[in-house]
Amino acid sequence: MNLPMLQDLAVMLDQENPDLFKWLTGQLPPSELMASNMAFKVCSLPLLQLLSLHDNQITHLPEAVATLPSLITLDLQFNPLRQLPDSLMAVRKTTLQDHNRA
C-alpha cells in the first residue's frame, strides 16, 4: 500500500461510524469526500457486490415507509394490529401483498 492510499485510508477511518457503515453498505450515497476517496472505493466495491448477491427486494421497505422516523418503523414491525392512518395502511397492505406473491 502506497502513501496516498494510506492517507486516504486514514481519512476514511476518521469518518463517523454510522455514516461510514451506511455509505459502505449502500444505504446512503457517500459524501463527496468519500466518493473521491480511493481507499473507500477499494473497500466499498467488493462489499456492495457481495451484498447484491444476497439482496432480496421483498425485504426492502417502500420509499414512503423508509422515510419515516425509525421509531415509527419499529413500532409498525412489533405492533402489526395497531391502528394506522389510511395512507400508511395502504403502503403496508401493498408491501404484504408483494411479499405474499413471492
Question: Any idea what DSSP says for residue 26?
Answer: T
Each domain of the chain, given as residue ranges in start order, spans: 3-55, 58-101
Phi-psi region of 26 (alpha: psi -120 to 50; beta: other; left: phi over 0): left
Report the half-sphere exposure of 86 (CA within 13 A, side-chain side).
Answer: 0
**pTM check: above 0.85:** no
Beta carbons of 34 and 9 less than 8 angstroms apart: no
Distance CA 20, CA 28 (A): 9
Question: Is the CB of residue 43 less than 8 Å from the CB of residue 12?
Answer: yes
pLDDT digits over 59-90, tens only?
A: 665 655 555 555 454 455 555 555 555 555 55
